[in-house]
Structure 1
């Protein structure tokens, strides 16, 4: 009888059978269960599958898992266990289990949609919900349904919204217990939330004193890691402090995760790179700051900004689990337990918070629209519109949204679309500007380096070229080798603005007032000390408050765009209304996105349709209050909204918001309007009533009348409100003989009667007239007889004749 070493073994038979009888399977297993190591190796050795591809979200985890599995077989990576990550591939004809990162898997599927020879794809740590993982899963499901009904998909994670995922995949769920030991939770209250980072060093000292074993400290990024390392003070000779983050090289990362030397302890300062699929030997204490650095897409600027955010409960559980991998452990969490309990259950998926241009490009190459892909979550229409505009500026899509030949080239280039566009266009400019391709390689290498010590890109690149870092030299050499060009002795540095314009056409900016206007329509701010006189900027990066601060850019001469990049500039005839001058502007403009480069009065006649569209744009911006008769129509608008509320099957939504969202009802009334004054005098009531058919107009008057006839014969105007009862203000004598309160909307809308004195002053509010006659009226009658003796105040108002006259004229 075999001994169960890992919990995943107890569900292996069930999992194997499920994979045999189902196209997809969902596996939920906590940290330490063996899902990332034992399971894929066992599936490979079982002979059930010819070749398995397993996706690991992080390069560090992918490399470590591949090395570990190869060691289990007594082999090197590249034999039965393969590894394929960015700029590193170790595979052979013997490879049966290939560990890949996200972009690699997407490329494999795009190059061979039938996935010839591959019969199982594993998605590990799928709860991280990166955009690339969602993309790869969508393409895998498409391939499975259309081309490979024998392809199996296994989605795995420690923390999943399992019911939702199971419903999406239409597959069985298999759950495994973890091998994790119990982890004690310790909460460290903070005097101020702002002081969380300053508190970390003292928490580390506290943990060292109270606990044994090595310590894993989760921090948002390198900046915080450096701060803590510099402020730890003396820890003792038996404690080593090391850092672990994604941008380190392979040797630095391996040193960080290696066991502490005999007789020593380690304090590992890390980002969420250590959150999943990674075991650091000797760690039994976790200190969790509860923060992470995440890219959040700013729809206004078109920039993904790195923001420090609170992590979800699921991420906190993952982090704490690192402490219980080898023995009982402890997690110190910053803040009160009540704060922890208020966290969201799961992190928002990247597809909801990111630039989706890469996803849209993959969809176009695949031959589908994003909305047609089987995605667990769909991006918003605003995200899709922004991505379309960017891909059109990068010449990936044409005006009709179709993939261009250059777009196909950019995709096959296998790198960031912006960088690919810049390099491919640089190659075309090589004849005019020698060595501009090498300059493009240097720029990409600078951006990949991620560190720029001067906001001006030209100065920063020149400094890097004169004193290059090892990683910059390695990247520069890689790009030159890939493009088969030699590194020239001197680069055409003056062409840097052109290259930035090729990579970031949406961020070309023109000075406007105290700031700049970008081609994508967003306003941004600059450090005037850096670019005091620049009229145009080629911007690379932005951030800060609302993502509006320019971090990296260089001045641009717009004449160069006309000479070398004319495709960026369009000619437009514009017809719009100037709200300040209250007149039409009809111009021929030269534009770069939302930037007007030059303009002149147009000689063409103003087109009626263009003028009408300009009026509609003005109305959409200013609202219906632009019309002088708006005040007279407010009650009509309220009645229309109430009609839709109480009779949605009879009346469509005619609220002011809905009317402005779709102004087609105003078209016929605007065609002959040529002046602003005539526009403001438009008969708004007639236009609004035209939204209703004749039968609806009749129903509106019956259900929600403008006036109501009272027993005296007077027609009294009603006042409606969107919430609450309608109101009828009427002199009390005019409703003598009325036995009950009138009904509106067949009794669905209450009516509040405001009964007035002969001088039109309020005497009583009631929604039950019959009850008022029998109760409170006596008090009112007594007072009114003394104040208005010439008026009729009967003892039995419910059965008396109504009047609008004094007693002598009745």
Structure 2
């Protein structure tokens, strides 16, 4: 086929030359520039490539297939020749393939399996602005490979909405920018009416757009569910009114753009009666779960010449071209991963898009001619400028496992993973058996990684040994990953996994309960089949299983959420992580001694069990014998304000039974008292005013003179280090009030060595000499200026405000009357003498005649006494 011209063409020589002399590149090119399909082809014969492969990362499967298909067409070949693709469950490459378009998980596996990337000369990261977690990880691994093993490897980041300058500086790479191919796009807002659903608003906008403008329509919706609802809202109607027909209101005026809200019948009509199909309209969905042939329909013009309305998720934002589109309708929403603490997974939530995404979506209307973009949110609504990277807002167990397999955490990330999230992920992986005590990956961890799913599900899929349980594990993995097939009843949904699994088993036998979602069950069944195929399970799924067997399988995915019934309250459970949880009053799990909770809603007191299954204690003891123990425990009893020693039978953090023990072990007692302070707070300790002032002096000086690097004695720091400085002071004690003030002082001051104490006494003294010859105390409060309270007569002759901390910090003077009452608060003593003292003298001289009130305080003698008799 003849090759079309693209705006990126003029930049292709510069791209080749840049990569010839520098191993990294940042390329900015707007939608339609041709970067996705033209850059890989332009690099194929680059001398530095030496005949090796180019691997291009595409975040989305739709875009990966489309890009490979378009490049193959340009070469006059089929996909799988020079250009091929690899995505999950689909591989179209051959021995001839030199350009591989892969999705993010595939690239990570390539790097983990062969860190040298033998036979690969260049990695292209397309649409890097989407900042998916797998893309960030892939780049970090690639940079590590380039730095240590393959300095000849070329790496290019390509995107339409990159913060190119920042990335180029971070990457130490040249930055090239291409012009785009676009026409003017008129952007307007099409607000919802009162109490109008998204689907109805979209329907109105489509009808308005089709009537007012030429060309195909691209509608951006959050996901499949919304696409299906909009599709279902359009069907032939008996009214004969066609889409785009002007509807007049009873008052004679037209609505927005000449349209009133259509009747329920008129709004559902897409193909006007009496018109042939050539003049009709076809509606097409576009999302990543569609079969390839269905996706292809949306990516090519209609063969019968009909206008198209493409209902798409954000897969249509970039990397795919939809011919004929001149109108964009944007709901301003997308489903993006967010960490869900209830389930312990990252879930897809509907969120507002960024301004960069909104601009990119609108630009889709101007690819072939001038276009129009309708935004379905108020013009006053402000969007975030850029999309937040996934690494900052998703659960990181999968990332932590990848890093453990790589053997290093010291990778260069554009945005580093949050330390707290990584620590929590490693703790979970240790519980799952994927990491050992040294946080190194185990053989089980490597098998889990190979499955390419969340580590919780991988652990569950690999744990069973008999075929029956293996098929159940596949069913449960599919159920957990899917949307709930059961409807909500009243204010809540059923909390039993058994009910969902039985609905799946009934679907397989052709019996579907009236309230179950047949489509959701079909998708779950298909996903379970894929898991059985991947795990090479030849057995058919079981059609009957007791509820506890589901829990026996689930416990390997959620070992931290195994729970035991409270002795005094059958609705309360203690979790293996030490927290408490509660069932709903009408729970299907009522009365079960052991459960495993896959979903919890964390609340201030007890978590709420949202989804769980019963389990067999014998199975728990068989699978996790090392987690059962008999231990002596010492705890602080807040009611009795005393230590209690007991002999406990435990499963992880669950106390199964407890009986009184003898005298507490001294080390355990010291730890329990330390933990009591951690819970009660530092105020529970015997502070004296002198010790509090010593701490305030050190905190203040640490702030005033950070170069001294004084120890941090803030509340947070002291609570974090209680085991280091306070626990030794509790040695031999069994009561909290046995710790004396002197012992507390010695424990606290142990954190400051001799040099620190010397600096503290010199730079933040307890008291200061004043002109009267007396020494007066300085009061310190961290975050405030230090205070010197002194009688006014004691400062005669002193011109300027005293300072401490090598003169950096002026004291706040509380100038007192002879009776000790405040007359003035100031940090400007000179200004007080000049401007305020005359008025104070006039008022105070008659009230305190026995004390000096000289006309010239600068030369007067300071005193702390009254005037001698007879003067």
Query: How does the TM-score come out when normalised to structure 2?
Result: 0.83
Aligned partner of 2:31 in structure 1 is 31
Q: CA distance change for structure 1 residues 356 and 773 in 2, over 3 Å: closer, same or farther?
A: closer
Which segment drifts farther, 671-680 or 789-798? 789-798
CA contact (8 A) 2:186 2:372 kept: yes
- Aligned equivalents of 2:3 and 2:169: distance in 1? 35
Aligned partner of 1:485 in structure 2 is 538
* Shift in Å, 1:199: 4.4
Equivalence map 1:157-306=2 (5 Å): 157-188=159-190, 199-229=201-231, 233-234=267-268, 236-237=270-271, 238-260=280-302, 262=304, 264-297=306-339, 302-306=344-348
- Aligned equivalents of 1:123 and 1:785: distance in 2? 83
| CA displacement 1:621-640 (0-9 Å, x = unmatched) | 44332223255533322211
Aligned partner of 1:641 in structure 2 is 699
User: Of the candidates 384, 391, 408, which is equivalent to residue 369 of structure 1?
Assistant: 408
Equivalence map 1:261-660=2 (5 Å): 262=304, 264-297=306-339, 302-337=344-379, 339-340=381-382, 343-366=383-406, 368-370=407-409, 372-427=410-465, 430=466, 435-453=468-486, 455-468=495-508, 469-482=521-534, 483-487=536-540, 490-494=543-547, 495-510=549-564, 518-520=575-577, 526-531=583-588, 532-542=590-600, 550-567=609-626, 569=628, 573-601=632-660, 606-608=665-667, 610-629=668-687, 631-656=689-714, 657-660=716-719
Q: CA distance change for structure 1 residues 666 and 217 in 2, over 3 Å: closer, same or farther?
A: same
- CA-based RMSD of the aligned residues comes to 3.3
Equivalence map 1:44-193=2 (5 Å): 44=44, 48=49, 49-188=51-190
Q: CA distance change for structure 1 residues 781 and 269 in 2, over 3 Å: closer, same or farther?
A: same
* Shift in Å, 1:54: 1.8
- Aligned equivalents of 2:425 and 2:820: distance in 1? 62
CA contact (8 A) 2:341 2:601 kept: no
* Shift in Å, 1:400: 1.6
Q: Secondary structure at the match of 2:27?
A: strand
Q: Secondary structure at the match of 2:671?
A: helix
Aligned partner of 1:8 in structure 2 is 8
* Shift in Å, 1:189: 5.5
Which segment drifts farther, 53-62 or 510-519? 510-519
Which segment drifts farther, 117-126 or 409-418? 409-418
| CA displacement 1:736-767 (0-9 Å, x = unmatched) | 44444322223321222222223322222333
CA contact (8 A) 1:299 1:383 kept: no
CA contact (8 A) 1:720 1:727 kept: yes
Q: Secondary structure at the match of 2:812?
A: strand
Q: Secondary structure at the match of 2:142?
A: helix
- Aligned equivalents of 2:184 and 2:601: distance in 1? 42
CA contact (8 A) 2:3 2:74 kept: no
| CA displacement 1:629-667 (0-9 Å, x = unmatched) | 255533322211121122223351434233333343335
Which segment drifts farther, 582-591 or 17-26? 582-591
Structure 1 residue runs of 5 or longer lacking an equivalent are none
Equivalence map 1:648-797=2 (5 Å): 648-656=706-714, 657-663=716-722, 664-679=724-739, 681=741, 683-797=743-857
Q: Secondary structure at the match of 1:452?
A: coil
* Shift in Å, 1:397: 0.9
CA contact (8 A) 2:666 2:733 kept: no
Q: CA distance change for structure 1 residues 296 and 435 in 2, over 3 Å: closer, same or farther?
A: same
Q: CA distance change for structure 1 residues 570 and 762 in 2, over 3 Å: closer, same or farther?
A: same
* Shift in Å, 1:58: 1.0
Q: CA distance change for structure 1 residues 612 and 462 in 2, over 3 Å: closer, same or farther?
A: same
| CA displacement 1:72-120 (0-9 Å, x = unmatched) | 3443323333222111222222222222211112222222222222222
CA contact (8 A) 2:342 2:599 kept: no
Q: CA distance change for structure 1 residues 443 and 763 in 2, over 3 Å: closer, same or farther?
A: closer
| CA displacement 1:414-444 (0-9 Å, x = unmatched) | 44433332222102xx2xxx62122222223
- Aligned equivalents of 1:68 and 1:570: distance in 2? 62
CA contact (8 A) 1:182 1:328 kept: yes
- Aligned equivalents of 1:274 and 1:680: distance in 2? 70
Q: Secondary structure at the match of 2:157?
A: strand
- Aligned equivalents of 2:390 and 2:443: distance in 1? 29
* Shift in Å, 1:45: 6.5
Q: Secondary structure at the match of 1:153?
A: strand
CA contact (8 A) 1:298 1:305 kept: yes
| CA displacement 1:209-251 (0-9 Å, x = unmatched) | 4322222222223344455456673354244444333333434
CA contact (8 A) 2:341 2:602 kept: no
* Shift in Å, 1:670: 3.0
Q: CA distance change for structure 1 residues 758 and 134 in 2, over 3 Å: closer, same or farther?
A: same
* Shift in Å, 1:173: 1.9
Structure 2 residue runs of 5 or longer lacking an equivalent are 235-266, 272-279, 487-493, 509-520
- Aligned equivalents of 1:242 and 1:774: distance in 2? 85
* Shift in Å, 1:318: 2.2
CA contact (8 A) 2:16 2:46 kept: no
Aligned length: 799
Q: CA distance change for structure 1 residues 630 and 272 in 2, over 3 Å: closer, same or farther?
A: farther
| CA displacement 1:454-506 (0-9 Å, x = unmatched) | 54221111111221454444434343344242216645444111111112223
Q: CA distance change for structure 1 residues 666 and 542 in 2, over 3 Å: closer, same or farther?
A: closer
- Aligned equivalents of 1:322 and 1:538: distance in 2? 48
- Aligned equivalents of 2:814 and 2:557: distance in 1? 68
Q: CA distance change for structure 1 residues 116 and 745 in 2, over 3 Å: closer, same or farther?
A: closer
Which segment drifts farther, 346-355 or 645-654? 645-654
Aligned partner of 1:18 in structure 2 is 18
Q: CA distance change for structure 1 residues 548 and 349 in 2, over 3 Å: closer, same or farther?
A: farther
Q: CA distance change for structure 1 residues 392 and 651 in 2, over 3 Å: closer, same or farther?
A: closer
Which segment drifts farther, 504-513 or 494-503? 504-513
- Aligned equivalents of 2:72 and 2:324: distance in 1? 22
Which segment drifts farther, 98-107 or 729-738? 729-738
CA contact (8 A) 2:475 2:525 kept: no
Which segment drifts farther, 482-491 or 459-468? 482-491
Q: CA distance change for structure 1 residues 206 and 327 in 2, over 3 Å: closer, same or farther?
A: same
* Shift in Å, 1:543: 6.3
